[in-house]
Chains A and B, each alone.
Chain A
């Protein structure tokens, strides 16, 4: 019914430990994880408000594709197919170096490895950068 769930802040790459207050499956609030080696019980304003975007009515909960200027909710398969088709078209028309890939501080090392592999092997470009430099 009521529990506190330890997690890692999803905002920046620092990786602060947070604790979600969950009552009947709904997140009520966020606390800093006092014993976490990274943040030692401290958080910035974004971490303190992590629960707000989870509960936000503006949060996207399904993929959307822009067709004729309007966003349409579609299945994941359709969205991925749409992205793949457009990427192929761009590469065919303007060459692989017209594509760049931005990796993320918020995904795992292995996922970042896959992302650069996708850029170099599948797309054929060295345009790989990271969100921590933005």
Chain B
């Protein structure tokens, strides 16, 4: 026997109210223990599954890139030599800096503590850009802290923390917005994600012209991301006469798709 339209409607209203109640309970934090329990069960499984996925991915990549390995090796060797020169120059500058700091009686800025975390899951939505890491509250991770990768490259920020895991919103997520600065021309802007691998730097003043290849770094204005973290390079500049600001397409410095481990900045 079929249900009457009235009982169908009341069922629908009840169902919809149930969903709204779930959202409300989550907003108030009442679902945290349920989510914590679910993630406690799923993290070991995700660890195993992510490891297997990485292995399959490596194998595929190795097959695809086998012919480029020699070429890349030569490129990295020459880059390595170049970087060794840069490092020795920087060491000299650091020594001078330490000496001057001592002479002026300035206190040394405490270093940020870095927590190494493995990536164990990715956003289930095709356009979602978030990752799950295997470190959580018990490792000292807090919400709204910056996440970087090796080389001081900005990856994103912690948005949710659970007992043994945490969620990171990547720079490429559509809701990600990072105050940024171009390194040479010192122009401020806002870097936004659009779900793809590239980023857009918006709200850049038209005072100066941006150069393709210029680096974009975090400006430290928002308080979450420290100043000076590398975000990417300007790939294309868009400037129209009828607009107040210019825009730039930024090529992200990090390969978000193949990210396997990250560093969470824990401020002292």
Whether chains A and B associate is: no
B interface residue numbers (CB < 8 A to A): none
